[in-house]
Amino acid sequence: MYIKRYIIKLVRSRITAILAAVSLLMVSGNFMSCEPEDWMLVVDCADCYGYLPDSADLIIYLTIDAENDSVPLTFYRGNYEDGIIDWQDTATTEEFYLYSEVDREYSVSATYKSGNQTIIAFDGDKMFLYDAGEECGSPCHIIKGGILDLRLLK
């Protein structure tokens, strides 16, 4: 009888520990996002749109240096593998903006030179609307996502 109670107590404590670990992982997911703007717990009411926007700027971070004073960019709708080119341009600054549709996934490639080698960097993200009406007052729509990092590693 004593062993049976001990086993039941041990199983309950293991289940409690597993549930606590799973809960902690679920909550910490917001803090482990790649981009700070994806943290849904942080709302800046200064970023509110009083109307429902259908477009906003994609923000692309690039490496501009002596060897790469201009970087060709190709914007794809959806995944790069789908091959649907939306826009092509050349950047000459380390931040590039492209006014694009919200609620659409984009992939971008940047083509760099390193000696006689070509380096192609890829990144993808989706801009989406977050309704911050409760936090900031109605109506308040904030655009999240849409930040792509195509910088070369040093």
Q: pLDDT 10s per residue in the chain (154 long)?
A: 556 565 566 556 666 556 555 555 554 544 444 444 444 457 888 889 999 999 999 999 999 999 999 999 999 999 989 999 999 999 999 999 999 999 999 999 999 999 999 999 999 999 999 999 888 888 999 999 999 999 998 7
Q: What is the length of the chain?
A: 154
Q: Is the dihedral of CA 26, 32, 36, 42 positive or negative?
A: positive
- In sequence order, what are the beta bridge partners of 123? 108
H/E element, 42: none
